[in-house]
Amino acid sequence: MRKPFNKDWPLTQKWGENPDIYKRFGLKGHNGTDWGMPSGSEVVAPHNGKVLEVANDPNGYGKYIKIENDEEGSVLAHLKEFKVKVGDDVFQGEEVALSDNTGFSTAPHLHWGYYRKPRDREDGYLGYISPFPFILNESQETQKILDETIKGRDHNWNLYLAEVEKNKQSINRIVELEGQVNERNVKVKQLEQDMVTCKTQLVDATSVANKAHEEDLKTAELLLETEHKLTKIESEMAQVATSLSLSPESPLNRILEVIASMKKPNDEFIKHYEKVVGGFFKNLRNTKWSFKKWIEVGINLLKK
């Protein structure tokens, strides 16, 4: 804190003096300090704070300003002109008014009432105290500014370190996520390659299956054609045997039996067809179809 003016004005009345004069105000004595200042002299804020009052008390302070912060407050009285208004934030040393001789005053001067918080209004001085223990000289003021600067620097440095740590954690997290993404990209690429391989194998298998299907169909058609030829031969030989009235034991009838056996499917044929056309021929051995019927059904299934 500093004095509320820039020039070296004289102290004309100390704090606590002249109790008889101030008895009328219910005070034990002068509740401030008076400074002999010509009318119109510059008045500045003795400390930082917010302007709480800008008013006029004709029988007391005259025109006055009240400035307060969380630790302290000041009343600057007997003013001529205001340079601030209620609600303004002011800084130590900032011009706030011009001095004069308004209110209960015998000559131009500045009344400075100073108090600390919490304020004891029942102490006989309405909580005002002598400001001198709190006024800093130039070296003290410089040290105070330096201390506040160092405090602010340390605070900002700690904030900076905290942000650096947050950024470091964020970078580590980003690196970790990038690693996970790269790992997944490798897996995706491998899956894509596996998919291409599977497609190639499927095409190859389909090609082989189609080729085998075509061969089975050709074999079945050839068997059917052969069966037709055997049937024709059997019919012609049967007519000859009948016309000649041959006995059952004759060689010609034996040949007919051989032809009939050739028209019946053997086990190898049945196994092959069961494999090709699946469960449809599951009970092939128990059917009473002719060889021709089996071949025709097989061909129809293979063509589907």
Query: pLDDT band for position 281 (50/70/90)?
Result: very low
Q: Which pLDDT score is estimated for 290?
A: 56
* Packing angle of the helix pair 291-303, 267-277 (nearest 10 deg): 30
Count CB-CB contacts under 10 A for residue 82: 18
**Thinking of the domain 11-135, which architecture would CATH place it in?**
Distorted Sandwich (2.70)
Q: What mean pLDDT do residues 5-18 have?
A: 93
Whether 280 shows a pLDDT value over 80: the answer reads no
Over the stretch 78-87, which tens digit does the pLDDT of each residue have?
A: 999 999 999 9
State phi, psi for 130 to the nearest 5 degrees.
-70, 130
Query: pLDDT band for position 118 (50/70/90)?
Result: very high
Domain residue limits, the chain: 11-135, 201-303
Over the stretch 183-206, which tens digit does the pLDDT of each residue have?
A: 888 887 887 787 777 677 767 766
Query: pLDDT band for position 117 (50/70/90)?
Result: very high
91 CB-contact burial (10 Å; exposed 0-12 / middle 13-18 / buried 19+): exposed
Query: CA torsion angle for 90, 91, 95, 101 (degrees, to 10)?
Result: 70
- Across 38-47, 201-210, 282-291, least confident range: 282-291
> How big is the chain by its Cα radius of gyration, in Å?
60
**How far apart, in Å, are the Cα atoms of 242 and each of 2, 27, 195, 239, 257?**
151, 162, 69, 5, 15
